[in-house]
Structure 1
Amino acid sequence: MTDGTDGPAARTTAQRRRTGRWLAGGAVVALATVLGLTLALRSGAAPACAAPIRPQTAALLAPPAASTVHKGKATFYDSTGMGGNCSYPAAPEDRLYVALGPDEYAAGAACGGYLDVTGPKGKVRVLISDQCPECGPGHLDLSREAFARIADPVRGVVDVSYRLVVDPPLAGPLTFRIKEGASQWWFAVLVARHGNPLRAVEVRQGSSGGWRAAGRESYNYWLIDSGAGPGPYQIRVTDTRGHRVTATGIRMAPGQVQRSTVRMYGGTSGGSTTAPTPTASPTVPASPTARPKPSTSASARPSPSPSALVPVDAPGATVPTTPPATGEAAVFAAAPPGCG
């Protein structure tokens, strides 16, 4: 992949063993010096393993706050058809999306939210769908199409401001996808079309019994290690703004997108809702549990362009205030063999 500019000639970066990645001269030195970051990718089709979250720093990770206008830099990249680390099957139809650095990606807590990004030419709204391992705080790696809305792509990197969108318009009711390999003894679900980032997902078998809290994985699935029974399920979803809805009749149908009849907010055509109460952006817990391996849609993403990446100065059981430790298609990619 080229850096998207017509400026100085780019050179292949030998340190990254993946074709199609380009960095301008001196960028690797700048990146290593400023960020102190070494990106090691495995060769072949298997995705790279994510680095573990250190307990002492995990609590510092959080999505961008909705109450704050953030200042930073923007670059752009192409997702080559993948939906990114948030496990969506593909980029959104309008191809307006963004990858965040590890601090703001927050181990998946930012997935599914939207940012309004303002640059030299104007403003664009983008879906948070991916992680940029090389990006520091304040560095947004936009899709090529999104970058073109706010700046001339020939510039490659521009100053921007951005804010997390509160209650963006929804594309439709919530959708749910049970992960391949799930059964009554191991439960994992991907929730989409929720607008605001999610705070909690709870599951119960049938229409009675207690609610069980699912833990969010860094690739955006919600997991119950011991399973939730054979189904069908009620799934209760709470977002970071305090909206809470319950979808019913979700089946144990791994690999299938199931469209509910309930919207996260703004009116429903089924299910149940409770009134929203604004809440703080979530933080990542300090002791993530062992987690299954992400699907191929959460594989390593291309490097941002251009390469001058200098970083700049969030009736049932109680819902936790922070997540527990830890586009649509009919078929998602299956989980690959495990990373070490």
Structure 2
Amino acid sequence: MTEGSARSGPPPPAVDGNRPARVGPGRRRAAPRPRRRWLAAGAVGALAALLGVALAVRGGAAPACAAPRALPAALPGALAGPPLGDTVRTGKATFYDSNGAGGNCSRPTAPANQLYVALGPNEYASGAACGGFLDVTGPKGTVRVLVMDQCPECEPGHLDLSAQAFARIADPVQGIVKVTYRAVVNPPLPGPLTFRMKEGASQWWFAVLVGDHGNPLRSVEVRQGGNWRAAVRQDYNYWLIDSGAGPGPYTIRVTDVYGHRATATGLRMLPGQVQHSTVRMYGGASATPSRSATPTRSPSARPSPRPSASTSPPTLAASAVVDPPVASPTAAEVVRAGC
């Protein structure tokens, strides 16, 4: 895509059956990185380092603990992470159109207000940024956008806004503008937490999408046999337990990056349907009854590589409790081996 031009045309094709390819008119898919060559170079470097240590010890000199150095640029995703906290960042913005699709974060559809953003791989951080919000300021003002998609070719600081969001902060004729942006901490939520089991999920293969959480999520856990089992986030934003979590109904505990934690119960194995709990990630539980007894089917169901073999569990309404906040992690950690 030429920077500043809106994407149009038919919805992008599926990639790996999970997420759309971000390819439009005038946009070329980036060539695959020479992973094998990078691995070979890394192996040679590691071998050289080991030989150096061995020679130093053999000569009677203990290896010194050197000052930490920057990670090599060849490390994809090094120090990657979603925008967090109150840090104001500078960058640039372009725009595109998802054609109503929910982006790489696997939302069933784009948000109703059409205000969303795609982040480059470093800030998208393998799905860790999904569901968070950014306030973006440009020449004409500020707009709040939902992190919904990944822009594979965007470097850190490059925001690919929806056309509607870009028009709020700049004249679309400009195509590309300088911006500042920051994460929104505890944004007002549109509703209680939602849960969507992926197509093909069953008691033997568990995959759930959590929605309406406001802040980026740190973890999703499922109660099984008296213990909490951690699900693993995929880069398309589903949380997966590859060996399954039983037939349900399920109790699911969700924790965000700032330590808010909520637990929803009575969730069922209903692949492709959105179940509404009665709990918000923060700010207290909803006073309205749960709507999960009449779940809605997503209009954009995606096929799953796993066959469904589950039986229908009893119909239960989802309920939830809000747990006390847990300690929030630091934005980044530096590990120095051997020191």
Q: Please state whether the residue corresponding to 1:72 is helix, strand or coil.
A: strand
Aligned residue type for 1:168: P
**Identity across matched positions, percent:** 68
Task: Output the CA distance in 2 between the equivalents of 1:110 and 1:172.
Answer: 19
CA RMSD of aligned residues (A): 3.1
Change (3 A) 1:155 1:266: same
Match of 2:125 in 1: 106
Match of 1:173 in 2: 192
| C-alpha deviation, 1:65, in angstroms | 2.5
Task: Output the CA distance in 2 between the equivalents of 1:19 and 1:114.
Answer: 24
Task: Output the CA distance in 2 between the equivalents of 1:226 and 1:235.
Answer: 16
* Counterpart contact for 2:3–2:94, Cα < 8 Å: no
Gaps of 5+ in 1: 7-16, 29-37, 42-50, 285-340
Q: How many residues align?
A: 252
Aligned counterpart in structure 2 of residue 279 of structure 1, from 311, 320, 328: 328
Task: Output the CA distance in 2 between the equivalents of 1:258 and 1:143.
Answer: 27
Task: Output the CA distance in 1 between the equivalents of 2:87 and 2:167.
Answer: 24
Match of 2:63 in 1: none
Kindly indicate whether residue 190 of structure 2 is the aligned counterpart of residue 199 of structure 1. Answer: no
Match of 1:332 in 2: none
* Counterpart contact for 2:132–2:184, Cα < 8 Å: yes
Aligned residue type for 2:140: K
Kindly indicate whether residue 220 of structure 2 is the aligned counterpart of residue 209 of structure 1. Answer: no
Change (3 A) 1:170 1:161: same
Match of 2:85 in 1: 66
Task: Output the CA distance in 2 between the equivalents of 1:165 and 1:18.
Answer: 26
Kindly indicate whether residue 235 of structure 2 is the aligned counterpart of residue 218 of structure 1. Answer: yes
Task: Output the CA distance in 1 between the equivalents of 2:167 and 2:231.
Answer: 38
Q: Please state whether the residue corresponding to 1:161 is helix, strand or coil.
A: strand
| C-alpha deviation, 1:274, in angstroms | 2.2
Match of 2:259 in 1: 242
* Counterpart contact for 1:109–1:282, Cα < 8 Å: no
Task: Output the CA distance in 1 between the equivalents of 2:129 and 2:23.
Answer: 29
Task: Output the CA distance in 2 between the equivalents of 1:123 and 1:2.
Answer: 24
Match of 1:39 in 2: 30
Match of 2:65 in 1: none
Match of 2:315 in 1: none
Task: Output the CA distance in 1 between the equivalents of 2:149 and 2:22.
Answer: 18
Aligned residue type for 2:164: E
Aligned counterpart in structure 2 of residue 124 of structure 1, from 143, 151, 156: 143
| C-alpha deviation, 1:67, in angstroms | 2.8
Gaps of 5+ in 2: 7-20, 40-73, 287-318, 334-339
Task: Output the CA distance in 1 between the equivalents of 2:244 and 2:22.
Answer: 37
Question: Which of structure 1's runs of 4+ aligned residues deviate more than 3 A?
Answer: 1-6, 17-20, 51-59, 280-284
| C-alpha deviation, 1:279, in angstroms | 2.0
Match of 1:261 in 2: 278
| C-alpha deviation, 1:159, in angstroms | 0.4
Q: Please state whether the residue corresponding to 1:22 is helix, strand or coil.
A: coil
Change (3 A) 1:183 1:20: closer
* Counterpart contact for 2:4–2:176, Cα < 8 Å: no
Aligned counterpart in structure 1 of residue 180 of structure 2, from 151, 156, 161: 161
Change (3 A) 1:89 1:40: farther
**What are the residue-to-residue correspondences of 1:290-305 with 2, within 5 Å?**
none
Q: Please state whether the residue corresponding to 1:248 is helix, strand or coil.
A: strand
Aligned counterpart in structure 1 of residue 98 of structure 2, from 69, 74, 79: 79
Task: Output the CA distance in 1 between the equivalents of 2:23 and 2:209.
Answer: 30
